[in-house]
Amino acid sequence: MSLLRMVRLPPVKPQQLLLPSAPPVCAARRTVIQGEYRRPGQPKDDTPAWMKIKFDFSKGVEGIKKHFMLLRREFLDRWVGPEGKPIIEHMLEQNRLIWEFRGPESLEEWTVSSDREIGGQSEVYLKLGRNSNTCFLYGTLCSTPPKDGETRYSGYCSMRSKQQLASFDRKKHFDWSSFNTLHLRIRGDGRPWMINIAAETYFSHQKDDVYSYFLYTRGGPYWQEVKIPFSKFFLTHRGRIQDNQHPLWLDKVNTIGFTLGDKADGPFQLEIDYVGVCKDYAHTEDFAYEVYKRNPEV
């Protein structure tokens, strides 16, 4: 009887009724099928991929210039040594400065985003600090969820470094495998932040895998040196801690990001002097969380 009733239903795309666009609540494992984020109620983008490409003559000329310059540098750097440094310097390297903020062009390597893209009302801006040699991230946080009926949480602001690109838009990765600690010099306003490191992954369903850890700020007028061992970073996927943890592999690191989402509505600020990596001989831990069994155990 129930089957008959099912058949008589008008064809209203039952899948859309059953499956909301938000992921299910109880997901601590990665789902295999994933799409890009689409706001509830927004129509699907059906434009073919070739229409999004800009076929422009001036873009082509500029591209040739840029890419061949990059290619030339890549070739010539090999003759000097790994990553364009003499081999002795590379071998004896104890710490490396990854990002420092000295001038407006250093802000080009970063993107900021907030919950505007999911319909929230937070604002985030990035500018240079007072002496134009720091990076000053500020804005207001607002954790009122958008009224689209599906989104339940909102309120985040983040800053993320752009993916490094080699010639012909190939991905370039950071190789930090000879270091074990992240070193930052920051000045915050007492709010806790989160540091997200995205590494290169093999399978496409891991593309949102991010290794995270917390960054606590003291607040006040003094700068704060923070050293975070890479072994403390835990694996998250789309904001959920995963059951199967895995240490962060440092040989192909793509981006690093700072996220604020502590649900305290109001203005915030974070000033960053530099981001570097260093080798801490006193730290011998490989991974801070259990990997020999699942959390929770099955």
From 50-58, 127-135, 169-177, 203-211, give the range in contact with other proteins by CB under 8 A: 127-135
Say whether residue 94 binds other proteins (CB under 8 A): yes
φ and ψ at residue 17, rounded to 5 degrees: -70, -40
Instruction: Give the residue with the Cβ less far from other proteins, 32 or 49.
Output: 32
- Choice from 59, 127, 162, 263 touching other proteins (CB under 8 A): 263
Residue 107: C-alpha distances to residues 3, 56, 134, 270, 272 (Å): 61, 27, 10, 14, 11
Q: CA-CA distance, 82 to 85, in Å (whole number)?
A: 6
Judged by CB under 8 A, the number of residues near other proteins is 49
Sign of the Cα pseudo-torsion (61, 66, 70, 72, in order): positive
Q: Does 276 bind other proteins (CB under 8 A)?
A: yes
190 binds other proteins (CB under 8 A): yes
Identify whether the C-beta of residue 240 lies closer than 8 Å to the C-beta of residue 208: no
End-to-end Cα separation, the chain, in angstroms: 39
Does 86 engage in binding with other proteins (CB under 8 A)? no
| 238 belongs to the binding site for other proteins (CB under 8 A) | no
Among 21, 111, 113, 133, binds other proteins (CB under 8 A): 133
Among 134, 196, 212, 255, binds other proteins (CB under 8 A): 134
Q: How many CA atoms lie within 13 A of 176 on its CB side?
A: 30
Residues lying near other proteins in the complex (CB under 8 A) are found at 24-26, 28, 89, 91-95, 97, 100, 102, 130-131, 133-134, 153, 183, 189-192, 214, 216-223, 241, 243, 263-264, 266-269, 273-274, 276, 278, 289, 295-298
